[in-house]
Structure 1
């Protein structure tokens, strides 16, 4: 008996190795993997192939069709000699700078009011901002045109400026408001405890914190203003032609090589602005 008990105890005390069930991710089958990669490749082709064609053709020496005739910068040189194109370009730059600056000032003040104060109609204002962002451009264009005709405003620079401020403003408000929502309120409380006045607190604490978002909103507004076509088509006048509308009028009568060149320039400018905007938003 003692021998059996000792054997049982030794068996019970000996470690028993058990296999744990490990859940491994299910690998897709070869057919599923090929289909997924093919679908992803198709998405990339649809997104980037037109851009690649645009950039490559802007350096094409041939003027007829899309037959490659050799590398050349002649279409970029042609742009420098096209006075109408240069005038439209500078009109767009001036319009974009003014619209982005005004939108940023108004949008930043609006975001501060929405974040710091409670007032009647605050929820309605928030909702209207998103409605303005989600509304089709054609609806906004017709609405603005009807308003300008109703008040007797002559279509030109002023009408374009008001229209661009209108559709740029919500993007600035939301960009700055998102930064304010992540603001650590303890910074503001610490400034108050140290005796800082309201103006000093805003100047030394609040503005440095939200400045990257303000600049990102400005760059976003400038980009939106620079490439708008739909709204600008409705509210512009013959006295002030901007670059997107100039390009659109050129494309309607046939795709000229200069369009590829100016499109490439706008693409590079937009990419630079987007990169700068993202870098500013990532600053802490």
Structure 2
């Protein structure tokens, strides 16, 4: 007869948890509530209204910036998913190739590199090669930033897989590429999707690197919001930020579900 251990939460732990959650999410909750404020004054409540959401959808400049952000995030996340997956495969399957330590360090450098340094170095690169700054320079910069996150997610899944399954496919006549595409890729696909969603979120949220690498007519939504806030917070900004929070929350939930699915598939394919 088994007994379950009941974990008791002490008052100190409960208060600490409540304060931590309030510190993290109370400002966001206030922003969401005031996005439905009918008053033109940000800090004065004037009743419930969808006025500022209507203002946003009638603001062509904001809509253009939002569209650019979505395009940049989608393209850079796709490129980061492909490159990050290839890098993860190289690190997981080629454990002894020359320069592995250097390659790994350079791949993961953006994880700890300050974004100001990354943005400035990319700006100097684009100036040196005389590249016109705009949509593609921002996309390349975001791909550089996010591919390391994809590599971390995919490599963790590859580390839990049984390589004998792939080796068995090669023993049956498959080449390395076909064995990877037919056996390994379906098993790690949820982790690739989770990495894509994470890269999409990071790109959608980025301000610092985009501000270094953007050009005229290609300002992303975070840059547009920052430029508007410098002149004073408008209620419309609350509505825009609420929509961004909702979009990011849905992406995070989807990434979490994809990660759980990848973990479950990895455990089923792991050696017993």
Per the alignment, residue 164 of structure 2 pairs with 186
- Could you say if the C-alpha distance between residues 149 and 209 of structure 1 is closer, same or farther in structure 2, counting changes exceeding 3 Å? same
Structure 1 Cα separation of the partners of residues 91 and 11 of structure 2:
50
1:195-244 deviations in Å (ceiling 9; x for gaps): 33333322221110110111111111111111100111111111211111
1:245-278 deviations in Å (ceiling 9; x for gaps): 0111111101011111111111111111111111
Structure 2 Cα separation of the partners of residues 57 and 137 of structure 1:
31
Structure 1 Cα separation of the partners of residues 148 and 28 of structure 2:
28
Per the alignment, residue 132 of structure 1 pairs with 110
Per the alignment, residue 20 of structure 1 pairs with none
Per the alignment, residue 59 of structure 2 pairs with 82
Q: TM-score, normalised by structure 2?
A: 0.89
Match of 1:210 among 178, 181, 188: 188
Structure 1, unpaired ranges of 5+:
1-24
Shifted more, 140-149 versus 162-171: the winner is: 140-149
Shift of 1:193: 3.7
Structure 2, unpaired ranges of 5+:
1-5, 266-272
Structure 2 Cα separation of the partners of residues 240 and 229 of structure 1:
13
Larger radius of gyration: 1
Per the alignment, residue 34 of structure 2 pairs with 57
Per the alignment, residue 195 of structure 1 pairs with 173
- Could you say if the C-alpha distance between residues 154 and 197 of structure 1 is closer, same or farther in structure 2, counting changes exceeding 3 Å? closer
Number of residue pairs the alignment of both structures matches = 256
Residue 254 of structure 1 aligns to a residue whose secondary structure is coil
**2:56 corresponds to 1:69:** no
1:123-167 deviations in Å (ceiling 9; x for gaps): 111112222210111111111112222222222112211111110
Per the alignment, residue 254 of structure 1 pairs with 232
Shift of 1:108: 1.0
Structure 2 Cα separation of the partners of residues 115 and 92 of structure 1:
33
Shift of 1:121: 0.8
Residue 173 of structure 2 aligns to a residue whose secondary structure is coil
Per the alignment, residue 42 of structure 1 pairs with 19
Match of 1:146 among 120, 124, 134: 124
Per the alignment, residue 8 of structure 1 pairs with none
